[in-house]
Structure 1
Amino acid sequence: MMHSPLRWGVLSTASINEKILTGAARSNEAAVVAVASRSESRANAYAARWNIPTAYGTYDGLLADDAVDAVYISLPNGLHHEWTMRALQAGKHVLCEKPYSRWPAEVEAAFASAQDLGLVLSEAFMFRYHPQIVRLAELVLDEGVIGEVQLIASSFSWPTETADDIRLDASLGGGALLDVGVYCISVGRLLAGEPRSVTAQQATDATGVDGAFVATMKFPSSAMSHFDCAIHLSHRSHLEVVGSLGSITVSDPWHCADPRLTVVLQGEAPRDAPAGHAHSYQFELEAFGRAVRGEPNKLLGRDDALGQARAVDALFRAAGTGQRVLVDTDRP
């Protein structure tokens, strides 16, 4: 059945937008029709570069545009909740870049507002839509290829290149855990459920953000997830899932540029499990569009965002105290 593409507005001219714009260009179900910046000249230049029909010099200008159905928010982390709420009040569906918030209460408030207004809201974790991670979940959860999950080990790091990088600004929600550690949290929760308790250590740099973060999450099944993340180390990206019968290694788990799952079962030679190439952002946008149309979809929603925020909150508390912290499912 043919339907009109969902009309998107992009709030900011951040570099990550290039990936969502490419994803939209690959899809018949999404069209980017507007972009907004705090600078009108920057918005106009960006719109010309990416062939976006309308540019705004204020975020509110874009939110008032009736030709925009949905908004992609890629502002600094500390601004996600404010502008999501403003977009929802303006009647727009919202895809907000991860992390939505480190505060569970903000997640609850946003999704309650979206529900009351009949709008779709999702926290953007593009890798969760890629066939590589979908296949990983099938192998681990549906087919039980490696038996009972016992350990999930992951890492994600990269070096910031300039002193004025927003990821180094604590007031804007910078730091390693919120920038890249949330990927490791997300995949752990996907494969083992919601963590029961966490421990963590962080290395705070001169800017006041966590430049590096190391953590362990323990799940009700007794499975554990151990991960490290950093924004001042070399590029590292790794995921290994270990079960009672073997393991699966994912060489490029987050960007999925080189999708490859390697299965090693006890007593057997390693074998690759086909994953397939795809554009994560295209698949994410198309899942969002299906949700807006009320069609079956696997869009990440309230429960996932709330579980994510509760884990993040517990990890920050654990790093701050040096103690094991229970993940309180009722914590506001």
Structure 2
Amino acid sequence: MLRWGILGTSFISHTVVKSILASPNSRITAVFGRNQARLDEFAAKYDIATKYQDLDALLDDAEVDVVYVGLPSHMHSSAVIAAAKKGKAILSEKSLATTMEDSHAMIAAVKEANVFFLEGLMYLCHPLMEKVASIVKSGILGNIKGMSGYYAANIWKKANPLGMGTIYNLGCYPVSLVHFIMETAYGSGAFEKRQVTGLGNLFNEGSLHARDASLNVRFDNGVLTTIQSTDSFGNDFSFSIQGDKGVLRFKTNPWLPLAGDNIMELKIYGGATEEIVVPALMDAFGHQVKRVEDCIAQGLKEAPRPSPSWANSVEIMSLLTEWEADIKKRA
């Protein structure tokens, strides 16, 4: 039985906690939060016996095996470093951080402590992504020539502005999927060789960040990618993978895979169009909890692909920060 400590009482912590409680192999022993009223409400709702307003006190709790970091992105680094020093296994919410300095510091800390660490890009734990990888590797799409993605949700009022806006709230999803496809199709290193153009609408609410952002990338092997992300309006998604023989499109949300049927459309140019259904017993958050359980039970420090390795998470962050920097340069 894996014993969890929860850091943070935000809306995303509610979602992850429900998946932890649904697993027969996990239970929650403690929760940390700075706001006493929200902490009390959260603990009562999920029947969590031990509450802490001091982070170090939770990390010193011998009844906690693994911590979930559900804090805003700009607070991930300090929490992960502190948890690693205490020898705790760690699941930390996406995005990894908001700066490359913090990202490198986090990974250095978990390496030094030799603890399990996984960035919470939960959709990469779902069987849907294993199916995507098998399609890309099969050659049915031919050589991958391009990708396009769009993710929109009106969540900016819920998000801490110090979390740096839509790039780190939502843009991390299509960027991480581009990373996964590039690595699957062309191997490690292909993602890092690129030219980037970023445009966006900036807002200053305690930090200068983009609520609306677009990204064009040309990888050195000729693959072209376009991404648009916004957390200021809408509730929509799209993602397609274009090869020189066919195209794969998602009909259900690739970043919120379901318990039930997840659907893609495979179209061969000048040929047939096939609907591909990937059923699952759990949603992405449930599969993420199981991935953590399985890895810790096996003594692993990093999760296997499709989940992001430590290096994968840093590579994804490198494009997110480059995207942000190019928008600000052009503003």
TM over 0.5: yes
Between the aligned partners of 1:151 and 1:227, the Cα distance in structure 2 is 11
Task: Please list, as runs of the form range in 1=range in 2, the aligned pairs for 1:1-332 lying within 5 A after superposition.
Answer: 5-140=1-136, 142-160=137-155, 162=157, 165-167=158-160, 169=161, 172-193=162-183, 194-195=191-192, 196-205=194-203, 207=205, 208-251=208-251, 252-257=253-258, 259-277=262-280, 278-294=282-298, 297-298=303-304, 299-322=307-330
8 Å CA contact retained: 1:216, 1:226: yes
SS of match in other structure, 1:28: coil
**Amino acid across the alignment from 1:200:** G
> Aligned pair count?
313
Between the aligned partners of 1:144 and 1:6, the Cα distance in structure 2 is 40
8 Å CA contact retained: 1:260, 1:274: yes
Report deviation, 1:192.
1.1
Report deviation, 1:206.
5.0
Q: 1:144 to 1:25 in 2, by over 3 A?
A: farther
Report deviation, 1:269.
3.0
SS of match in other structure, 2:279: coil
SS of match in other structure, 1:209: strand
Report deviation, 1:292.
2.2
Where do 5+ consecutive residues of structure 1 fail to align? Answer: 324-332
1:117-159 residue CA offsets vs partner (Å, 9 max, x unmatched): 121112110011112222112111x212211111111111111
8 Å CA contact retained: 2:150, 2:238: yes
SS of match in other structure, 2:254: coil
In the TM superposition, structure 1's runs of 4+ consecutive aligned residues that sit over 4 Å from their partners are none
Report deviation, 1:61.
2.2
TM-score normalised to the size of structure 2? Answer: 0.89
Between the aligned partners of 2:57 and 2:70, the Cα distance in structure 1 is 17
Between the aligned partners of 2:95 and 2:238, the Cα distance in structure 1 is 20
Counterpart in the other structure of 1:329: none
Report deviation, 1:295.
5.2
